[in-house]
Amino acid sequence: MEAILFYILSAVTLIGTLCAITARQAVRAIVYLVTSFFSLALIFYLLGAPLVAAFEVIIYAGAIMVLFMFVIMMLDLGHPEKLTFPKIRDWWPAVLLLAVIAGSILILAVSREPATAPGFTAITVREFSQALFKRYGVAVEIISMQLLFALVGALYLGRRR
Amino acid sequence: MSVTDALAIMPILIAAGAALLVLLAGPFLQARSISWIAVVAAAAAGVWAVVYPAVGATVTLPGLAFTGLSQFLIPVFSAAATLTLLLSHDYNQRRGIKGEEFQATVLFTLFALCVLACATNLLILFLAIESVSFAFYILVSLDLEREESGEAGLKYLLMGAVAAAIVAFGISLIFAGTGTLALTGAFAPEATRPIVSAGWGLVVIGIAFKLSLVPAHLWTPDVYQGAPAPVAAFLSTGSKVAAAAFFLLLLAFSRPLAEIHLPLYLLSLGSMVIGNLAALLQKNIKRMLAYSSIAHMGYLALALLTGSREGYSAVLLYGAIYTAMNLAAFGAIASLSGAEERGELTAYTGLGHTAPFRGAILALAMLALAGIPPTAGFLGKFYIFYAAIRGGETTLAIIGIVTAAISAYFYLKVVVQLYMREPEGAAPAAPHQGTPAESLALTCAAVAILFIGIYPSPILRVLDAALR
């Protein structure tokens, strides 16, 4: 049951992301990305991390995507650009990358037993927060400093001159 | 967090507190007092690290510790930040860069650098190195009047973001393979060795970008040229030493795999050869110094390659010496630049006579970068090649020595411009009077270059303690 759900959700995630990067219109790309975030959140839920799933929906699919949408609407970027189709010789880095990835997957598939996911136990919000603010408390502080200075830098660079 | 913890990581707290103080007090104080607060705080962080005993300073905070290595690195970082702040006050006034954001961001960079020096797990290490890059994205594009500055910032940001993603992927693969984020416990079990070595490969690619090793070096000349000169001084010292320290921490604690020898060998070879040869062709002094920094990072990679304690101590020593040399070189450029950046080499013709003090500092920095005794540059190169030959990298060491000899040509070209050329046509604009803060910063850098070159035993003793 879980395995079937997982495969459906991963297919949705992959297709959603693929559509997001190929969509010509920015607004459509965002809607595709939100879809893929939602199914990613459900995958986290299946892995026994309901809190991460909730964060994925609230922060990524909710706050950040709304912000993107807001900027696109405000700056009126909704019109698709006329793109010329890439020439054949521009394709080789992508092809090379694809070959490397496909090769790795092939080697993994041939040489190994299929990996089984270890059993996950759901953790509570209390355990999660204790791990976050005790074990990773220093990391949280560093990230908050970094975000503060992201704000400072953005304000400075956006200042009217 | 107990009192002993707070005392042990005081440099981090000083830098963070001062950055916030500068931001909060900025609107109420004059630019001069802001600069002085920042300078005093940055210097205090370094002095604290020197004075506080590293032995017995156990920290209960997860992911941080005040070790001998931190005791060596924090003063170097703090010196770089202090001198940058001293150099930039008058430079910013001449260039119309206003606001307390500059000082606050430099202090934030120092904060991240101190965290990096104290990090004991991969997560903190990654966050610290990314915070450093992050601060530099802001600092590089801070000159709003000049288009090149913004262009350099954008280039650095785009390349840096890709490199950050690669490093993060590498670290996550190492974590997947070893099951721990701790630096000390991260050795690869046989079963997961392919995953761990893939992780190492990605980390090497990311670090190659951060150290600007060939072939991940293309951003360096543009960013150095576009960045304001004091920022270029800080970028070429703080961020490079930080990246080298990041790699050194990984290598020293977690038993490097044999697989990374070949990539590192090629990176070092390419950087030494291409960096020095490309520098020969440059007409702009900042681009020339950028290629020279690529070559110098190639030497650092050579010392890292040996995997021996001697190699690691050569990396740290060279990091400290390189900081002094580049601060002197870019500091002199900053001080000689007026409302326009003095970029072209021809603009330096005869400046050794019209601005004797700053000309002499620039000449000294060039001689040191070329590795001519009795400057510290010679000592640093000597230790690197010595460690390389002892570590069995004789071929690469010989190539390094040959390229170092070639590099003397373009460094000495600057000295020739300063003292021995008559200006063709119109003489370059006479530089304005040097200010006390700039003179103080340049004197400190020059004294460090000469002192380490002539009397190196104190710093070698500290180094010995740092790597124990």
Chain B contact residues (CB < 8 Å to A): 16, 19, 23, 61-64, 99, 101, 104-105, 108, 111-112, 115, 123-124, 127-128, 130-131, 134-135, 137-138, 141-142, 144-145, 150
| Whole-number average pLDDT of chain A | 85
Q: Which residue of A has its CA nearest to B99?
A: A156
Domain A1-80 class, CATH top level? mainly alpha
Residue in A with minimal Cα distance to B153: A157
Q: Is the separation of the CB atoms in B451 and B328 below 8 Å? A: no
Walking along chain B (468 residues) 10 residues at a time, the average pLDDT comes out as 83 94 90 92 93 70 85 94 93 85 94 93 93 94 86 92 93 86 73 84 92 90 92 94 92 74 92 94 93 95 88 93 95 87 84 89 94 91 93 92 93 91 72 87 94 91 83
Residues 6 or more apart whose Cβ sits within 8 Å of residue B357? B434, B439, B442
Query: Cβ B130–A146 below 8 Å, yes or no?
Result: yes
Please indicate whether, in this complex, the C-beta atoms of A138 and B124 are within 8 angstroms of each other: yes
For A149, which of B61, B105, B128 is closest by C-beta distance? Answer: B105
Nearest CA in chain A to B107: A149
pLDDT given at position B55: 62
| Average confidence (pLDDT) over A138-159 | 91
pLDDT value at residue A38: 93
Length of chain B: 468
The encoded tokens of residue B130 equal 């990314």
A91 at interface of B, judged by CB pairs closer than 8 A: no
The 3-state DSSP class for residue B223 equals helix
pLDDT band for position A15 (50/70/90)?
very high
Encoded amino acid at A90, one letter: D
Give CA–CA dist A156/A149, Å, rounded.
10
pLDDT at B23: 93
Looking at the predicted structure, is the pLDDT value of residue A128 above 80?
yes
Q: How far is B85 from chain A (nearest CA, A)?
A: 18
Token pair in block for residue A85: 């189709």
Mean pLDDT score, A23-38: 89
Distance (Å) from the alpha carbon of A139 to chain B's nearest alpha carbon: 6
3-state secondary structure of B119: strand
How far apart are the C-alpha atoms of B468 and B456, rounded to whole Å?
Answer: 19
Do residues B289 and B319 make contact, with C-beta atoms less than 8 angstroms apart? Answer: no
Q: Is the pLDDT of residue A114 over 70?
A: no
* List of chain A residues whose C-beta atoms are within 8 Å of the C-beta of residue B111: 145
Buried b (16+ CB within 10 A) or exposed e, B153-179: bebbbebbeebbebbebbbebbbebbe
Which one is predicted more confidently, B165 or A161? Answer: B165
Domains of chain B, residue spans: 3-466
Answer whether A153 sits within 8 Å of B137, measured CB to CB.
yes
- Asked if residue A80 has a cis previous peptide bond (ω within 30° of 0), the answer is no
CA distance B120 to B231: 28
Instruction: Please tell me the predicted confidence (pLDDT) of residue B256.
Output: 64
Tokens 């370059």 belong to B428
- Distance from the Cα of A153 to chain B's closest Cα (Å) equals 6
Cis, peptide link before residue B221, omega less than 30° from 0: no
Cα B117 to the chain's mean position, in Å?
A: 13
Residues with Cβ within 8 Å of B263's Cβ and at least 6 positions away in sequence, in order, are B201, B204
pLDDT, position B254 = 67
- Asked if B62's CB is within 8 angstroms of A134's CB, the reply is yes
Q: Please name the residue ranges forming H helices in B239-375.
A: 240-253, 261-280, 285-306, 309-336, 351-354, 356-370
ipTM of predicted complex: 0.89
For A141-147, the CB contacts below 8 A with 24+ separation are A142/B112, A142/B115, A142/B124, A142/B127, A142/B128, A142/B131, A143/B127, A145/B16, A145/B19, A145/B108, A145/B111, A145/B112, A145/B131, A146/B112, A146/B127, A146/B130, A146/B131, A146/B134
Q: Which two tokens stand for residue B26?
A: 């900025």
Please check whether residue A107 touches B, CB under 8 A: no
